Amino acid sequence: MSALEMIRLAMSRLRTSRLRTFLTMLGVIIGVASVVALVGVGQGATSGITARLQGLGTNLLTVSPGSTTSGFTRSAAGSATTLTQEDAAAIAKVQGVAAVEPEVSTQAFLVAGDGNTTTTILGTTSAYPLVRAYDIADGSFFNQASVDHALRVVVLGATTASDLGISTNAPGRTITINGIPFQVVGVLATKGTSGPFSQDDQAIIPITTHRDYFSSGDKVRSIGVSVADASGIELAKASIAATLEQRHGVTSTNQDFTIADQAQLLSTFSSVGATLALLLGGIASISLLVGGIGIMNIMLVSVRERTREIGIRKAIGARGRDILAQFLIEALVISLIGGAIGIVVGLLVSVLISSVAGWSVAFSPLTILAAVVFSLAVGVVFGVLPARQAARLDPIVALRYE
Amino acid sequence: MTAIPRPATVGEGTASPPLIEIRGVTRVYDTGRVEVPALRGVDLDVRQGEFVAIVGHSGSGKTTLMNIIGCLDRPTDGTYRIAGQDIADCDDDGLARLRSRTIGFVFQNCNLLPRTSALENVATPLLHQGVARKQRLERARAPLERLGLGDRLDHEPSELSGGQQQRVAIARALVTEPSLILADEPTGNLDTASGEEVIAILHELNAEGRTIVLITHEADVAAHAGRQVHVRDGRIVE
């Protein structure tokens, strides 16, 4: 009996009890669909974060204030305000450093004609687009003279500009930030990231202007450092650390700042993302397992119901292995068709999630392949027991079974 | 496609070995607590072309004897040869092969596959022989037409009368061209007219040279056979 004949026989059997076949299949469909969708979301989140980090700038080091210890209470990292603009100036003189941009930030309310939005107001220097790898879509970034004279000029992120309704012809227009008029000089090109903490949603003004209107003092939130050569990153990191330790009067054991580089961040987030995808896939696998048990359950009932048929087939010449193959192929057909439908449903659900939640979803052929192999395995593992039971039936007993 | 040659009709008194050769066969059922002997030493020969009725009351051992003749069961002791093949030399697959190629079963309650057309039912033994679908359906058509069911090919068993169902079952037994037709109470569940019809068909098949073994408890059915073998308490008594 050829495999094709077996499949034909299985299909015609499954067609005779459509509802039962469909319900059995549903377990596999839900299982495979959730594996495909959740792993897709997990991988999408990982690749989205990775892309965002890569968009942050090349050869970038970020110097942030460390944590402070006041009495016996240690505060969160970044809570200290130990970095100053003088630190930034000192870092700029370290060998191997190409450019430095200190940053201060606040939230503020922007109005442009009928449009308004609330976003981050970032105060920095003219080195910002170089260090953070931004292109200018329209107009230009403010120059050093604007910083020196604390001019009220602003460069808008792509999202901010469209939120304000001034995506076109923005340069030259006047907007207000917390009621203070600023002239738009340029709009940044989008980095293509979306969702919270988008790099496209911000308004950038000279750091000196920021101090005049939105903050005070000499402290900075962070310092972005562009290293001239990627191979010199470790050396530059060490030199910057030494410079800051000397300036702050601390040692490497009680540093009041941290220096993060992109590679480090990337690998951290990648491993977090991989763990996330694994976790989601693991949870989804449980439903696939339940689906498999559903197959086994139905197959066992089916063997019981068809005992007489098995007896007849054996009496007219079917071998044990023919019966085994017949039931096994039925289980396989259920799990494979269920798996195929599950993949389609999973992809649809992923697309739905990505369009509703605004997350990116990644489909890898590997996930699809794994889902197919997995559902096949479910069919074999949970089909074998009922099929063996059927194959071992004594034809005399089976023929007399009512 | 492997065609099974039609068994040659063997005249009486020839020296060729019998189709069925049973020697000292016993069958003991082990129920766990006690051993129940169903057959207590049976010798029986059936030559090719014979029409033999095995007659006995329920509990006589005739069903056990039929199971052994039909290669559904093995003797506890003694030897059984069918078409020269000692079944002690056969594994379970070997027995399945004998059932597939050498024996055609006709059961008391037809035992047709439910929700399956008459044509597919008759073609099923060929499926298990590995015959391709097209040839299968072609070969299944001939015995059905011969038994007057040419217009019932697509009917499922539930759409057929008892007599028609039993004719489908006979067609299924014939389709593999077996050496032996083994009929277990083939008229048991039929009305008188249908029962006579079935007996007439068996006669006709025997006249063509087929070997037929009929198991029954009814004396008037057994009377149609060329030879009667009576079973009582696990032994052949005459």
- Boundary residue ending a domain (A255, A279, A297): A255
b vs e for A314-325, b when ≥16 Cβ sit within 10 Å of the residue's Cβ? bbbbbbbebbbb
pLDDT value at residue B52: 95
* pLDDT tens digit sequence for B64-95: 999 999 999 999 999 999 999 999 999 999 99
What is the identity of the amino acid at A296? M
Same domain, A92 and A223: yes
pLDDT mean over B126-133: 90
Q: pLDDT tens digits, residue range B182-210?
A: 999 998 888 999 999 999 999 999 999 99
Same-domain status, A94 and A17? no
Give the residue from A220, A255, A290 where a domain finishes: A255
**What are A145-171's pLDDT values in tens digits?**
999 999 999 999 988 998 888 888 888
Q: Judge contact between B231 and B27, C-beta under 8 A.
A: no
A149 shares its domain with A246: yes
Whether A308 is in a domain gets the answer yes
Residue B116 forms beta bridges with which residues? none
Are residues B128 and A312, on separate chains, in Cβ contact within 8 Å? no
Residue of higher predicted confidence among A373 and A267: A373
Contact between residue A227 and residue A96 where contact means Cβ atoms under 8 Å apart: yes
Query: What pLDDT score does A315 carry?
Result: 92
Hey, is A143 helix, strand or coil? coil
Residues β-bridged to residue B28? B37
Q: Evaluate whether B202 touches B213 at the Cβ level (below 8 Å).
A: no
For residue A61, is it within any domain?
A: no
Residue type, A384: V
Check CB contact of B127 with chain A, cutoff 8 Å.
Answer: yes
Residues 6+ apart with CB under 8 A from A144: A125, A126
Q: Is the pLDDT of residue A38 over 90?
A: no
Residue A208 pLDDT: 92
CA gap A362, A354 in Å, rounded:
10
Distance from CA of A389 to the nearest CA of B (A): 16
Establish if A71 belongs to a structural domain.
Answer: no
* Residue A337: domain span: 3-51+268-400
Q: Which of A255, A285, A320 is the last residue of a domain?
A: A255
The verdict on A246 and A320 lying in the same domain is: no
Position A394 in a domain: yes
Whether residues A16 and B115 touch (CB distance < 8 A) is answered with: yes
**How far is A207 from B147, CA to CA, in rounded Å?**
103
pLDDT greater than 50 at residue B13: no
DSSP string, A266-312: HHHHHHHHHHHHHHHHHHHHHHHHHHHHHHHHHHHHHHHHTHHHHHH
One domain for residues A296 and A396: yes
Provide, rounded to the nearest whole percent, the portion of chain A with pLDDT above 90. 30
How many residues belong to chain A? 402
Q: Are residues A121 and A158 in the same domain?
A: yes
Using the Cβ of B115 and the Cβ atoms of chain A, whether some distance falls under 8 Å is answered with yes
Decide which of A65 and B44 is more confident: B44
Residue A215, in any domain of the structure? yes
Q: A399 — contact with chain B (CB < 8 Å)?
A: yes
Range with the lowest mean pLDDT among A27-41, A115-129, A188-202, A211-225?
A188-202
- How much is the average pLDDT of A237-244? 89
Mode of pairing for the β-strands spanning B20-30 and B35-46: antiparallel
pLDDT mean across residues, chain B: 89
ipTM for the whole complex: 0.88
Measured distance CA(B174)–CA(B143) in Å, rounded: 7
| Residue A65 lies inside a defined structural domain of this protein | no
Whether B125 and A317 lie within 8 Å, measured CB to CB = yes
pLDDT tens for A10-20 read 888 888 888 98
Q: In degrees to the nearest 10, what's the CA dihedral of B72, B77, B78, B84? A: 30
Taking contacts as CB-CB distances below 8 angstroms, the residues of chain B near A314 are: 96, 99
Whether residue A149 is found in the same domain as residue A229: yes
pLDDT in the model for residue A80 = 55
Q: To the nearest whole number, what is the mean pLDDT of chain A?
A: 85
CB contact at 8 A, A83 and A113? no
% of chain A surpassing 70 pLDDT:
93
Total count of domains within chain A: 2
CB–CB of A317 and B97 under 8 A?
yes
CA distances from A176 to A116, A121, A208, B211 (A): 9, 12, 17, 108
* Tokens linked to A136: 């200018």
* Local structure of residue A114 (DSSP, 8 states): T
Q: Hey, are the CB atoms on B130 and A322 less than 8 Å from each other?
A: no
pLDDT at position A234, please?
A: 83
Distance from CA of A11 to the nearest CA of B (A): 13
Q: Which of A44-58, A261-275, A371-385 has the lowest mean pLDDT?
A: A44-58
Give pLDDT, residue B45: 94
**CA–CA distance, B212 with B181 (Å, rounded to integer):** 5
Verify that A246 and A151 share a domain, yes or no.
yes
Q: What is the residue-wise DSSP string for B31-70?
A: -SSSEEEEEEEEEEEE-TT-EEEEE--TTSSHHHHHHHHT
Residues of chain A found within 8 Å of residue B176, distances taken between Cβ atoms: 317
Structure tokens, A244: 């800051």
A89 & A197 share domain: yes
pLDDT band at A235 (very low <50, low <70, confident <90, very high): confident
Residue A339 scores a pLDDT above 50 = yes
Same domain, A135 and A237: yes
The verdict on A111 and A245 lying in the same domain is yes
In a domain, A60, yes or no: no
Query: What's the pLDDT at B53?
Result: 95
- Cβ(A383)–Cβ(A48) under 8 Å? no
Domain co-membership, A342 together with A394: yes
User: What is the pLDDT confidence band of residue B105, given thresholds at 50, 70 and 90?
Assistant: very high
Average pLDDT for A127-144: 89
Contacts of B100 in chain A (CB under 8 A): 316-318
Beta strands in chain B (DSSP E): 20-30, 35-46, 51-55, 77-82, 85-86, 103-106, 180-184, 211-216, 227-232, 235-236
In the structure encoding, which two tokens stand for residue B52, read together? 């033999």
B172 band by pLDDT with thresholds 50, 70 and 90: very high
- Residue A261 in any domain: the answer is no
> Does A66 have pLDDT greater than 80?
no
At A391, list the tokens.
Answer: 């194959």
